Amino acid sequence: MKKPDWDAPQSFTAGCDGNEYYLIDAKTKTAHHDMDPVVLGANSRDIQRVSMREFTAEEPFKDELAAKDISLTNTKTIDGEMCYEVEIKTEGGRQKAVVWWISTKDFLPRGVKRVHAPRSGDGEDGSTQLMIRNVIATKKTKPEVFKLKVPAGYTKTDEFAP
């Protein structure tokens, strides 16, 4: 992830199993976990924006399906996979629009772009884009795939990351 005021991108290892969020900090060898997404630390909001939370949601795409303005706009090839491009204009909140790239073969997401209004109300819109590669579709995904796996030599804590 690279914010406009950062000199270089920073890497984060973070996730959510649908119940708990976690961040693995390689610098401090600490695995932070908690049900509150703030456990992800000072960049929690941005980390959540570049994660594919729909994979662990009880009702994936619920907000998108309730939108009044949904359109199939194009197709795009991602990692050799032909995808439908679906644009959704959202109302209320800072998120203005979402573009999903959904596989024409297995109907799993391969990417998402979220467009956000500026926090102050002035300035240009911001956006995040997440592309997923090497997706292997199976009939049933085991929930443990999304659970925190604490690397050897790391300390597990429920304290919030800095």
pLDDT in tens, 116-131: 888 776 778 888 888 8
pLDDT tens per residue across span 22-73: 999 988 999 999 999 999 999 888 888 777 878 777 888 888 888 889 999 9
**For residue 152, what pLDDT is reported?**
96
- Is residue 98 in a domain? yes
123 and 84 in one domain?
yes
81 and 37 in one domain?
no
**For residue 22, what pLDDT is reported?**
94
Strand partners, 98: 88, 114
Least reliable range by pLDDT among 13-22, 81-90, 103-112, 140-149: 140-149
- By C-alpha distance, which of 127, 107, 131 is closest to 118? 127
64 and 121 in one domain?
yes
107 and 66 in one domain?
yes
CB 48 within 8 A of CB 22: no
Domain that holds residue 118: 60-131
- Is residue 68 in a domain? yes
111 and 64 in one domain?
yes
The number of distinct structural domains making up the chain is: 2
Rounded Cα gap, residues 107 and 49, in angstroms: 21
Secondary structure in 3-state letters for 57-81 = CCCCCHHHHHCCEEEEEEEEEECCE
- Is residue 47 in a domain? yes
- Is residue 136 in a domain? no
